[in-house]
Structures are given as C-alpha cells and as structure tokens.
Structure 1
Amino acid sequence: MGSIGNDETGADENMAAWLCGVNTIRMKQLQLPSLGNKEVKVRIKASGICGSDVHYLKHLRLADFVIEGPYVLGHECAGVVEEVGCEVKHLVVGDRVSLEPAIPCRGCKPCMEGYYNLCQNVKAFGTPPFPGSLAQKIIHPEEMCFKLPENVSFEEGAMCEPLSVGIHACRRANIGAETDVVIMGAGTIGLLTLLCARAFGAPHIVISDINGERLTMAKKLGADECILVSMNNEDIEEEVRLLQKAMGKDIDIIFDCAGFSKTMTTALKATRAGGKVCLVGMGHHEMTVPLPPAACREVDVIGIFRYRNTWPLCLEFLSSGKLDVKPLITHRFGFTQEEVENGFDTSGHNQKAIKVMFNI
C-alpha cells in the first residue's frame, strides 16, 4: 500500500481524494508501490463513502486513529483487475472484483486462531496511517479480492464492505428462524443489518430511529414495525415499552447500530431475560449503562469489530437476490474535484442520503 503523504506524480496517472485538512479534500496523484508477487493492480470503478470517512473529514481523527498528514480516504470499493503479480493464481486481467479492505498479518494469535478481523498488525484501507482506496487505481493482495458474479454490479460490489458488518453482526448474534430482532438506528449499517437479519431468517423485525425518513426506507426494505424515538434520555422507559409492544412478545436480540449511552441503556432494559444485545454502532467512545440489572437477567452483551470471512456470503446473497442493496444507494457522483467535494457534503449533511457512491 502507498505511504502516507506520498503524492508524487507518476507517468501512469492515478488521481486520488486526499484529505489535506479539516473539511479540505484535494484531488492529487497517488504514487503506487511496486506490484508484489501475490498482488493485483485494480482500476477502481465504484467507491462508497462511509461514516468514518466523513468523521475523518470533520475531525481528522476517529477514536484513537489520528490523521497527521495528507491522507487518502475510502475503503468501500470494487473494480477491474488491470495487472497481476507473478504468483497470482486465481485472478486474471479483466476480472471484476470486490475488495476486502483489511490485510491481516496472518501471524499474530488472533489471526492464527481464525479471528483475523482482530489482527494486532492489520493494515486496512482508510485506517491511518495506511492510506485508503478512494483512487483510480490501487494495489491489493489477491486473497482479499473476490470475483464478482456476472449479475452483480460494481456498486453492489462496493457495498459488500458495509454489508459485511451486518452479516458479521448476525453471525455473532446467531440470528435464525426463531429469533425476533430489534434494530436501533436506521442509518446505513442499521438498514443493512435489517436486510441481513431477514436473509438469515429472522421472522419479526422492529427498527427504531430519530429520523422519520430513514424509517420510511426501513419499511420499504421489509421492517415489520418502525418506531420513531427521540434523543431525550428521559424517554427511555417509554421507548422500552414501545419496542416491546411493537414486538408483541419478548425481544430475543437487539442490535444497537447507533452506539450511544441512551440506545444501549434502552436495549439492555428492553431485551428479554436470557436475550442478547449486540453493540454494532460506535456513537460514543465511552458509555454509562446499567449493566448490573442486565447481568442479573443474564442478558449477554456482545460486540463486533469489522468482519471476517463474509465476502463469499455477501456475493451469494447479492447474486441470488436474497437481499437487494441497490435502494440504499441514494446519491451518485463522478470523480472530479467538484464532484468529490459535493459527494462528501451530501453524505455529511443531506438527511436523505444513505449511501453516496462515486463512479470512477
């Protein structure tokens, strides 16, 4: 992967979106490293904006990850293989691929035990100091590039990254035909978790949010009940009652896709004894929540970090039509300076925007 701050102009043009300061993006050259034996060069065709990209744009940091110089954003992408290393076995020039953005070391204890998403030495697109993929071309290991089925578009391929979060969450929570689900937060990840929970067989799904338009989309995507909530902490008990009433029976599992003290408190109170709360969102870096009462009811609290071994199932769901992510792509832009700025402005400020996609 290219090094941070490396924007030398090469003979082979490769424009990228560089974060150069708070709310400042510049289209400049990204010089790629030499192609490794087991790597491929991919010409990016579609790339989405994640909430983390917008957060970096506004604050130059996300939790403990800090941007200290010019930095290429992005990690949701798909494209066409343009060149292959001499030891690449399963991809050829012209293959359409979706890219899993993290490169695990394969040598640390989590990697050796199969939990490569928890790798202690991971290099990931869009996670400082490793540059992102919002560029015309990138280089990536063959093993983290997955062929797109013929009936899956580049945009859908780019959506495999956020979709993987929903799949990983459903796996962690053991969603199946006998688990009823509540999802708190109808942003991109909440809506994708809704689609995944249904694909995993959840018979009844209730979703809540503070944004009525997001709930309208959730209803179109198949939510059984949609609950409009507030940001007021004094409303927690009433919201617990509303969620339980909407479910009509005990709540097995709640996915908190917002990640605030209020949403986690509500989730812990609303879930049945012996149920589960899965924390997916990271709205608050630290929380104050009533754990002892939940512990007395043996409510399991589980978390997720990124995903692992999800791309094959993503592509199966997409190619089979078991779920459809296309309605979530609400805005599309090209890859000029003006369009990139407009894309990020839309993603950060337009309440109707769910997934903003660049066609590169």
Structure 2
Amino acid sequence: MSPVALAQAPTTVESDPALVKVLPTFSRDVITKPNLALWVTRDHKIYQKEEPYPSCGPDECVVHVKATGICGSEIHFWKSGRIGDCCVTHDIILGHESSGQILEIGANVKELQVGDRVSIEPGVSCWECDMCIRGRYNLCPKVKFSGTPPSDGTMRRFVAHPARFLHKIPDTMSFATAALIEPLSVAYNAVRRASPYLGQPVVICGAGPIGLATALCARAAGASPIVITDLEQNRLDQVEAMGFNRTLKIDLSWDRLTTAAKIREVMGTDCLPQIAFEATGAASSINSACYALEDGGTLLQIGCGKPEIEIPLMSMGFREVNIITSFRYQQSWPVVIRLVAEGVLGDVDGLITHTFPVEQTIDAFETCADRSKLAIKVQIVDE
C-alpha cells in the first residue's frame, strides 16, 4: 500500500503487515490522520483542505509537522496578495516556521533517521549558482522558499522536505521552541549584518515577533542600552516582561522629528542610537528611525512594507547614515539552535502568545490578523 493510499484508507495502518514492518511505532497512528493544509488564494481568501500524504524523494524526508508559527508575511500574502514583487498568482499552501519529527527518509539520506526531531529551514537553494557558491544562498535566484509564491509551504500535517535543510534539535527542546528558530534566524542574520558591539546603543522599531527576536539577539551580542518602540501597549508590556526596560509607545499624531526626539529621550544615558533595527516596514517608522540615529549611524531594515517607500535620503546623506538591508538568513540554523538550547537568548518562548490545533488553522490566522486579540506569535500544533 502506498503512503497516499494509506492516508485515504478507512482502515488502520496495522491492517497492512508490510507497512507495519517499516513504520516506527510512534508514527503508525498519526500517519492515518488527514494531511490538512492551509491555502491562500489570489483573491485574498484562505481555506483548509486535505492533501495526499507526500511521496518521499531520494534526498528528502517526510516530516510530521508538530508546530508552525504564523508570520506577518503570510498575513501580507492573505490580505494584500503580495510582498514587494512577490505576488500570489495561484492557490498556494502557506507556512515556513516549522518543526517536526521524521517519518520517512529517502534512499540517499545518511545523516538523519526516522524519529529524529528537526527544525525545518524553509529556503531550498540550488547550490549551483554564484550566490550559493559564495555562501550567500539566501540570495539564490532559484530558491524555493516554503510558502512563498510559487512554492507550497509547511502549514500542513505532513510535508516532504530536502534532508539538507532539516536540522536536528536537542531532546530538551520543544517543538514549539524549534519552530521559533526561523524568526530567530531572521533576527540573527540582521544582528550579524549590523555587528553591534558591547555597549553600543540600539533602537528597535516594532515589538512584533521579529522585533522582539531582534531584541533578544542584540542583547546577547552586547548592545546596550536598547530602546524598543511600538504602537501597542500590550506588546511593550511583553517587552518589559522579557527584561527590556526602555520602551516607547508611538503616537501616530507625532511627526518624524518628534518621534525621533522621544526615542533619544527614552535612551536617556548621554548617548544616541547608533543602530536602528527597523522591524515594521512602515514608512513613518523608517523615517523616524533615520532621524533618531546619531550622525554616522546605521539603519538596518528588516520589516516588510509597501513596494516603494520614501525615505529622507538627502538628510541621511548629509549625516552619513548607512542603510543596510537583511534578507532572511544563511547558515544560521546550527548556531541559533545552539544559542537557544544554551539559554544565551533568554526565554524565547515568551514570544508565543496563542496556540491552536491544526484543525483550527483558519481560527489561528484570524486571531493573528485581529489586533484586538493582542497576539504576538501564534502557533499551530499537532500531537
């Protein structure tokens, strides 16, 4: 019996003696469950439906996805249908912040085995182009990134994924924590590109999941003091619960100069921000960050916003303010897994505010998109 037939069969897996011999005990019940997947359409709708159990290629593993976080980019794809030049042109499965347990391994897979607990790196690069050869595989023009058009993602119960992009996690790490390795990798890459040093003053604009993850990484790198801004008090309350005591609630009636002055005031230690990590993508936040920086400072742009945004380029030029962008990550998984496992980043689970079972994925998305629900990181889990 094929895996697809198994997933659709009304009988239990024990009814096929041949399959019982190759399947580990832990997977025999779960593999009969429907492979529920969350889809987004080009006309801004989401729906959930059952997919066939995936086939396992020779260089792949089939993973039972145990936890998946909802990213702001997925809300963008749902509500706006695009991020920058990347557009939803056909129905695709979302999801790229996932962890799980291996159910099957391909014939060529040597470093992993059935039962391994893994975090899924979602960007599958070609390993042949110039960018890949130079180690900057996050810029691979042929990359297939889970849940980003045109590639289907990991927001389903079972997924086949190249073994090269599956990373084992310690037995002490929960699947919920392992699903945070992806957003923490975004933050790790941004902090690595900005290279803050011990005692360097930093402002982080936006206290969503990426802003908070960036705060954790910047603090671990030695940045101090750290000011964190946001529009919503509940997010700033979470910031303070995670040990950051310099926060600023933004009032949209402020102009960019007023906001910049208030950021400098909150820093309040006879120093000005030398690095601004902008994690919202909003034009007003980017502009305020530019003016809050000291002369010669660095704006590190992480957040996704509109395809075209005006910035005060001449003012930045007169003050030699640097602009650096950060796109996803590369070679981060082993490092971030180690940092999390050793507690270097602190309580990363504090990012998770809501959890839903896979059968309620649509409810999870609606909660994530509804500001009144006070969500930061929403995760979908499966037993």
Q: TM-score range by the shorter chain?
A: over 0.9
Partner deviation per Cα, 1:270-302 (whole Å, 9 max, x = no partner): 111221110111223211111122122221110
In the alignment, structure 2 segments of 5+ residues that lack a partner are 1-6, 10-31
In the alignment, structure 1 segments of 5+ residues that lack a partner are 1-8
1:326 corresponds in structure 2 to: 349
Identity %: 38
**Cα distance between partner residues in 2 of 1:245 and 1:104:** 44
3-state SS in 2 of match to 1:309: coil
Partner deviation per Cα, 1:232-283 (whole Å, 9 max, x = no partner): 3x52212111111222312111111112222221111111122111011122
So what's the TM-score if we normalise by structure 2? 0.87
Structure 1 outlier segments of 4+, above 6 Å: none
Q: 1:122 to 1:21 in 2, by over 3 A?
A: closer
Q: Is the 8 A contact 1:18 1:26 kept in 2?
A: yes
TM-aligned CA deviation for residue 23 of structure 1: 5.4
In the alignment, residue 348 of structure 2 is paired with which amino acid? V
2:325 corresponds in structure 1 to: 303
**Cα distance between partner residues in 1 of 2:217 and 2:106:** 35
In the alignment, residue 354 of structure 2 is paired with which amino acid? H
2:275 corresponds in structure 1 to: 253
In the alignment, residue 96 of structure 2 is paired with which amino acid? H
In the alignment, residue 237 of structure 2 is paired with which amino acid? T
1:241 corresponds in structure 2 to: 261
3-state SS in 2 of match to 1:40: strand
2:381 corresponds in structure 1 to: 359
2:60 is aligned, of 21, 39, 44, to 39
Q: Is the 8 A contact 1:204 1:224 kept in 2?
A: no
**Cα distance between partner residues in 2 of 1:275 and 1:67:** 36
Q: Is the 8 A contact 1:75 1:134 kept in 2?
A: yes
**Cα distance between partner residues in 1 of 2:125 and 2:284:** 34
Q: Is the 8 A contact 1:32 1:139 kept in 2?
A: no
Q: Which moved more, 1:244-253 or 1:96-105?
A: 244-253
3-state SS in 1 of match to 2:328: coil
1:157 corresponds in structure 2 to: 178
In the alignment, residue 318 of structure 1 is paired with which amino acid? V
**Cα distance between partner residues in 1 of 2:43 and 2:155:** 18
Q: Is the 8 A contact 1:46 1:78 kept in 2?
A: yes
Q: Is the 8 A contact 2:186 2:329 kept in 1?
A: yes
**Cα distance between partner residues in 2 of 1:103 and 1:184:** 30
**Cα distance between partner residues in 2 of 1:19 and 1:266:** 34
TM-aligned CA deviation for residue 15 of structure 1: 2.0
Q: Is the 8 A contact 2:64 2:102 kept in 1?
A: yes
1:72 counterpart = 2:93: yes
**Cα distance between partner residues in 2 of 1:83 and 1:286:** 44
In the alignment, residue 48 of structure 1 is paired with which amino acid? G
3-state SS in 2 of match to 1:258: coil
TM-aligned CA deviation for residue 215 of structure 1: 0.9
TM-aligned CA deviation for residue 103 of structure 1: 0.2
1:102 counterpart = 2:147: no
**Cα distance between partner residues in 2 of 1:285 and 1:19:** 20
1:288 is aligned, of 307, 310, 326, to 310
TM-aligned CA deviation for residue 10 of structure 1: 5.4
1:61 counterpart = 2:61: no
Q: Is the 8 A contact 1:10 1:29 kept in 2?
A: no
**Cα distance between partner residues in 2 of 1:128 and 1:112:** 24
Q: CA RMSD in A?
A: 1.7
2:337 corresponds in structure 1 to: 315
TM-aligned CA deviation for residue 27 of structure 1: 2.5
1:229 corresponds in structure 2 to: 250
Q: Is the 8 A contact 2:199 2:225 kept in 1?
A: no
Return the index of the structure with the highest Cα Rg. Answer: 2
**Cα distance between partner residues in 2 of 1:350 and 1:298:** 37
1:50 is aligned, of 33, 52, 71, to 71
1:340 counterpart = 2:361: yes
**Cα distance between partner residues in 2 of 1:285 and 1:223:** 32
3-state SS in 2 of match to 1:254: strand
Partner deviation per Cα, 1:174-212 (whole Å, 9 max, x = no partner): 023132210011111111111111111112100111111
**Cα distance between partner residues in 2 of 1:189 and 1:96:** 24
Q: Which moved more, 1:95-104 or 1:36-45?
A: 36-45
**Cα distance between partner residues in 2 of 1:129 and 1:32:** 20
**Cα distance between partner residues in 1 of 2:201 and 2:106:** 47
TM-aligned CA deviation for residue 53 of structure 1: 1.4
Q: Which moved more, 1:314-323 or 1:72-81?
A: 314-323
In the alignment, residue 246 of structure 1 is paired with which amino acid? V
TM-aligned CA deviation for residue 121 of structure 1: 0.5
Q: Is the 8 A contact 1:22 1:59 kept in 2?
A: no
2:299 is aligned, of 260, 269, 277, to 277
